[in-house]
Amino acid sequence: MSDPAKKIAAPLGSKANRYAPRLDRREKAALDILDAFFAEHPGAWVAFSGGKDSTAVLDLARRVNPWVKVAFFDSGLEFPQTTQYVNDLVESFGLELSVYPAFPDALTILERTGYWEHGRFKVKENLQEALINRPLRRATKSLGMFSIYGLRAAESKERHALLAKHQGVVPHHTKGQLDRVAAAPIWQWEHDEVHAYLAGRGVPLNPLYAQQIRLGIPERRARVGLLVDGNELAHGRWAYARQLAPDLARLVETRLPVLAQYR
Amino acid sequence: MTLLASPEHRLLRIQARLRGGVAMDRPYGLELSALLATHAHRLRKAEAVSQGRRVHSDADDEDPEDFDLPLARCVSGDDWYWAASCAQPDVHPEEAPEARTYFQNVASAHARDFASRPLPEVYARKGSYRDVMMPSSVTLASTLTWFAIGDKERIAAALRPLRAIGRRRATGEGVVLSWSIEDAPGDPWRTLHLGDGDQLLRPVPIPVAEALGVDYRVGAYAIRPPSWNPNRLTEMAMADE
């Protein structure tokens, strides 16, 4: 038997110990941002996508305001697992959820572009405008201009610069006028801290994460988003999507035939 | 529900012994009728090419032509499907496929030197010669089993030349060491659809699942080849996961 006294500690300790002390500080900072945000704007709502970051934010927001309103922007091309997960959370958390469907839906827009069918004339379409900006404007109109997101600085340099400048509460202006204010309480969190927080709180994750890892996708590259993504097709994005949602994928391939090359 | 069979049609168990797994969809992949149809399609194409004729693509036909396959037909209402199951690998249904990777990179300078005609510009990010690094989910089965009602001799003749099946054959996946075809005991209709268990071995029209008395969910699936034609996609009953 090995002698415990002779056991050599890992330089950084266990994963749980490594993140636990910092996670407490992160959690406190996030709750402080939310406390101040809700005190100033009691009607603030959470934008929920079904991903891990917005799930962590939803849980934090509910700790400060259990009756917080939640918005879900439905692109029309969500994984069925995400739709089911959102419905399950609505039931188990008793959420007041408003769904903002994209119109036209993502599949119709992709089909219109002509990029997905051989020999079609190609037209530029703005997915960001149709799937995010327009539903967001509708949500802002009906739920108010103060919203809460699961954005993190570590996701991109631009995001880091913006969130650091405003310390996690970002005002957005249109034509010089304040349009909306977005709070990102977990803006300083790292990928592992989000997972550690959710595991510690016992909040279930979207099952898509576990299913992607089972297929061999590294944990850090597992994504919950649109079923069809024009990026990384030659690196298996669609091949994985087909395995994760085969029924929906067969229907999508009938409308976007080029995808069949990327199985 | 009716089974349209000829006198030479019998209930068969078909097995492929594999070298090291196969890249296939699960739970429903490598339908036997699709294997036979692909073989028939290739023969038809080879014949057309040898005669200098253009091969007609049926991908957009409203009602694509059916292949003449050595299988019985299962009729359900106005539609029908071939009496053949999907491949059943000898692995536990919960066992995850092995994550392998498939690469394709064109050495453009080499290709230009050795091409028999001038090559267009080779782009690494688009076109037929683009770089590819795709996942290859391989089911590590040693045997695949199908049930079918059909003509034993003609099925054997069609399957014998197939030395590899499934995806990524060019990189060594799905190599078949041997085929075996034998008569199967049992009630043809029930064994064809359920095998030895009580899970659907292939997607079927909803009335068929109801008549078999099994749990099912509804999803989109091609009722019969050519499955690449979108008009063949219909709502079918599949095993409830």
pLDDT per residue over B138-148, tens digit each?
Answer: 999 999 999 99
pLDDT over threshold 70, residue A245: yes
Amino acid B16: pLDDT: 97
A234 to chain B, any CB pair closer than 8 A? The answer is yes
Pairwise CB contact (< 8 Å): B97 & A239: no
B124 to chain A, any CB pair closer than 8 A? The answer is no
- For residue A248, the chain B residues in CB contact (below 8 A) are 220
A130-139, B48-57, B119-128: least confident range: B119-128
Nearest to A215 among B99, B130, B221 (CB): B99
Rounded Cα–Cα distance for residues B60 and B230 (Å): 8
What are the tens digits of pLDDT across the range A38-86? 999 999 999 999 999 999 999 999 999 999 999 999 999 999 999 999 9
Q: What percent of chain B has pLDDT over 90?
A: 54
pLDDT average, residue stretch A194-217 = 91
Rounded Cα–Cα distance for residues B91 and B141 (Å): 6
- For residue B135, the chain A residues in CB contact (below 8 A) are 215-216, 236, 239-240
Could you tell me which chain B residue has the CA closest to the CA of A245?
B219
Contact A105, A255 (CB under 8 A): no
Average pLDDT, chain A: 87
pLDDT over threshold 80, residue A6: no
Amino acid A126: pLDDT: 77
What are the tens digits of pLDDT across the range A131-147? 888 999 999 999 999 99
pLDDT average, residue stretch A142-156 = 93
Q: How many CB atoms lie within 10 A of CB A220?
A: 8
pLDDT average, residue stretch A147-157 = 93
- For residue B95, the chain A residues in CB contact (below 8 A) are none
pLDDT average, residue stretch B155-161 = 94
A215 to chain B, any CB pair closer than 8 A? The answer is yes
Kindly indicate the confidence band of residue A230, based on its pLDDT and cuts at 50, 70 and 90.
confident
pLDDT over threshold 60, residue B218: yes
A110 or A162: which leads in pLDDT: A162
pLDDT average, residue stretch A208-222 = 89
Nearest to A235 among B25, B99, B134 (CB): B134
Question: 3-state DSSP helix/strand/coil percent for chain A, to nearest 5?
Answer: 55, 15, 35
Kindly indicate the confidence band of residue A118, based on its pLDDT and cuts at 50, 70 and 90.
low
Rounded Cα–Cα distance for residues A141 and A144 (Å): 6
Average pLDDT, chain B: 89
Pairwise CB contact (< 8 Å): B99 & A260: no
A96-105, A125-134, B108-117, B147-156: least confident range: B108-117
The whole-angstrom distance between residue A128's C-alpha and the CA centroid of its chain comes to 15
Residues 6+ apart with CB under 8 A from A145: A178, A179, A180, A181
Q: What percent of chain A has pLDDT over 70?
A: 89
pLDDT over threshold 70, residue A13: no
What's the pTM? 0.82
pLDDT over threshold 70, residue B162: yes
Task: Name the minimum distance, in Å, from the CA of B119 to any CA of chain A.
Answer: 21
pLDDT average, residue stretch A17-24 = 70
pLDDT over threshold 90, residue B158: yes
Rounded Cα–Cα distance for residues B71 and A190 (Å): 58
pLDDT average, residue stretch A92-97 = 92
B230 to chain A, any CB pair closer than 8 A? The answer is yes
Kindly indicate the confidence band of residue B121, based on its pLDDT and cuts at 50, 70 and 90.
confident
Task: Name the minimum distance, in Å, from the CA of A216 to any CA of chain B.
Answer: 5
pLDDT over threshold 70, residue A16: no
B228 to chain A, any CB pair closer than 8 A? The answer is yes
Amino acid B108: pLDDT: 77
Q: Is the dihedral of CA A153, A154, A156, A158 positive or negative?
A: positive
Task: Name the minimum distance, in Å, from the CA of A85 to any CA of chain B.
Answer: 16
- For residue A251, the chain B residues in CB contact (below 8 A) are 220, 233
Pairwise CB contact (< 8 Å): B133 & A247: no
pLDDT over threshold 90, residue B94: no
B130 to chain A, any CB pair closer than 8 A? The answer is yes
Contact A172, A161 (CB under 8 A): no
Question: Nearest CA to B148 among B68, B32, B66, B6?
Answer: B32
ipTM value for the complex: 0.79
Task: Name the minimum distance, in Å, from the CA of A262 to any CA of chain B.
Answer: 8
Rounded Cα–Cα distance for residues A170 and B177 (Å): 63
∠ CA(B64), CA(B146), CA(A253), 5° rounding? 40
Amino acid B204: pLDDT: 95
Amino acid B210: pLDDT: 94
Residues 6+ apart with CB under 8 A from A12: A18
pLDDT over threshold 70, residue A123: no
